[in-house]
Amino acid sequence: MQPASETAREALVAALVATGEGDRRAFRTFYDLTSAKLFGVCLRICGERQSAEDVLHEVYLTIWKRAGGYEPGRASPITWAATIARNRAIDWRRSQGSARFVPANDAIDLPDEAPLASETMIADEEERRLHLCLDALDGQQRTAIRTAFFDGVTYAELADRLAVPLGTMKSWVRRGLARLKDCLSGD
Amino acid sequence: MATEPDPDVGAAELALGLLDGPERATALRRVLAEPAFAREVEAWRTHFGQLFGRWPEVAPPPALFDRIEASIDPPVVRSWRWKALSGASSLIAASLLVALFLRPAGPPPLAPAPQVPPLVASLAATGAQKAGPVAAVYDKASGQIRLASATLAPDGKAAELWAIPADGVPRAIGLLSHGRPTSLVLPASLRAQMATGLTLAISIEPRGGSPTGLPTGPVVAAGTLIQA
């Protein structure tokens, strides 16, 4: 998502709402505007191309069926759609057996972990706040929460990957999430 | 070891997907039972959703859209196999109709299979809503569940039926008709789980049903399947 200009977002909302009314051209437009982001999500979490394509296929079928339920006042269309993609990809990966995850060659790299909020162009206030609050966490907490989000892993997998006992991992993350919650609800 | 108990951040853990097994089941049960918790999960999804902006984009293969479009719109007649299938499904539909009409009048005319008594549930209102209990009948032979007429969802929303088997994870069954009896056919994967003790619940969702595959709105009615 580039610095989201209002008009780009409005175009996306219009395409999604029209998709909900059964408009195929709008569905195509929505696909063109969102599929690279959603494929990035599926590919990262599934770890290989063929499965990521299958999951993406299912994701857009879900979008086609559920677009009528999208409420423009709530999440942005891209967040709404990417959440569906992330959940589907996680379901797929977990159905393959929980210990399976190996970041495959196909998996894509994430941007490095530079402080997030200091970047110049974060237009959206909510987004800015989330990044500021994440930046305020301890490094370990931030890494664990970021990994959980971008890799779609459970506590057990997270503990495994970062080579930390499960109980310790849960404690870090829970304390991190509690701090994040305070920070997000504060002014 | 921690000196004080970990804070309760179950809503955030569920939204991130950190939980599995019994912990996940417990959190999903809370989504159903506690509207405030369900709203919190939704709020966390939106917060974390801001991070999607950072997710690197990768173009999918160009042919994928055509495959997707083909699967939302199967051509009317594709092959003999398609015709045979649709013929078979109209036959099934016809026999269901016959069964529905004949059942109250007495035993089915051919009585080919031993009668399997249906499972039934009375879904009582769980919240402040005044909705009366909704009766549900599940027929194992056909995999079909029927619910009495109910008006549960406010305008612009939908009432969605969920099955919650022993693992505590809600599975979507389908949307209820507004002010009319509802009849839904369960997916094969769910039929094996339909047994005495299983919980049925109805939640209020956006039009078109829950976008996440899990209940997001308040649960307005719930009940347990018992043998009729």
Q: Over 50: is that where the pLDDT of B85 sits?
A: no
Are both B82 and B135 inside the same structural domain? no
Q: Over 90: is that where the pLDDT of B209 sits?
A: no
Q: Over 60: is that where the pLDDT of B14 sits?
A: yes
Residue B74 CA: distances (Å) to CA of A20, A21, B12, B81, B88? 19, 19, 40, 13, 17
Q: Tell me the shortest Cα–Cα distance from B14 to chain A, in angstroms.
A: 10
pLDDT of A108 reads 56
Are both B71 and B159 inside the same structural domain? no
- Name the residue among A44, A80, A86 with its Cβ closest to that of B211: A80
Are both B32 and B69 inside the same structural domain? yes
First to last CA, chain A: 26
Whether residue B113 lies inside any domain: the answer is: no
pTM, whole model, 2 decimals? 0.63
CATH number, domain with residue B129: 2.60.40
Determine the residue among A154, A170, A171 to mutate to test chain B binding: the one whose Cβ has the most chain B Cβ atoms within 10 Å. Answer: A154
3-state helix, strand, coil in chain B (%, to 5): 35, 20, 45
Are both B89 and B166 inside the same structural domain? no
Are both B70 and B141 inside the same structural domain? no
Q: Tell me the shortest Cα–Cα distance from B153 to chain A, in angstroms.
A: 13
Q: Over 60: is that where the pLDDT of B86 sits?
A: no
pLDDT tens figures, A151-167: 999 999 999 998 999 99
Domain boundary among B32, B66, B101: B101
C-beta atoms of A61 and B68 within 8 A: yes
Whether residue B128 lies inside any domain: the answer is: yes
Q: What is the mean pLDDT of residues B168-191?
A: 85
CA-to-CA distance for B154 and B102, rounded, in angstroms? 35
C-beta atoms of A57 and B64 within 8 A: yes
Say which range, A23-27, B73-77, B186-190, has the weakest mean pLDDT.
Answer: B73-77
Q: Over 60: is that where the pLDDT of A112 sits?
A: no
CA-to-CA distance for B133 and B126, rounded, in angstroms? 10
- Name the residue among A28, A148, A167 with its Cβ closest to that of B17: A148
Q: Over 90: is that where the pLDDT of B13 sits?
A: yes
* pLDDT level of residue A52 (50, 70, 90 thresholds): very high
**Total domains, chain B:** 2
Q: Which of chain B's residues have a Cβ under 8 Å away from the Cβ of A61?
A: 68, 71-72
Whether residue B40 lies inside any domain: the answer is: yes
pLDDT of A110 reads 60
Are both B129 and B178 inside the same structural domain? yes
Are both B97 and B123 inside the same structural domain? no
Say which range, B6-20, B39-53, B125-139, has the weakest mean pLDDT.
Answer: B125-139
pLDDT of B218 reads 79
Are both B214 and B162 inside the same structural domain? yes
Are both B139 and B220 inside the same structural domain? yes
Q: Over 50: is that where the pLDDT of B152 sits?
A: yes
- B142 or B3, which is more confident? B142
Are both B124 and B181 inside the same structural domain? yes
Whether residue B29 lies inside any domain: the answer is: yes
The tokens for B81 are: 């196999």
Q: Which of chain B's residues have a Cβ under 8 Å away from the Cβ of A146?
A: 51
Are both B142 and B184 inside the same structural domain? yes
* pLDDT level of residue B32 (50, 70, 90 thresholds): confident
Identify the domain containing residue B81 by its residue range.
9-101
Q: What is the mean pLDDT of residues B134-155?
A: 86
Q: Over 70: is that where the pLDDT of A169 sits?
A: yes
C-beta atoms of A84 and B212 within 8 A: yes
pLDDT of A172 reads 92
Count how many pairs of residues, chain A against chain B, have C-beta atoms within 8 Å.
163
Whether residue B4 lies inside any domain: the answer is: no
Determine the residue among A74, A142, A149 to mutate to test chain B binding: the one whose Cβ has the most chain B Cβ atoms within 10 Å. Answer: A149
Are both B97 and B47 inside the same structural domain? yes
Determine the residue among A94, A177, A182 to mutate to test chain B binding: the one whose Cβ has the most chain B Cβ atoms within 10 Å. Answer: A177
Whether residue B169 lies inside any domain: the answer is: yes
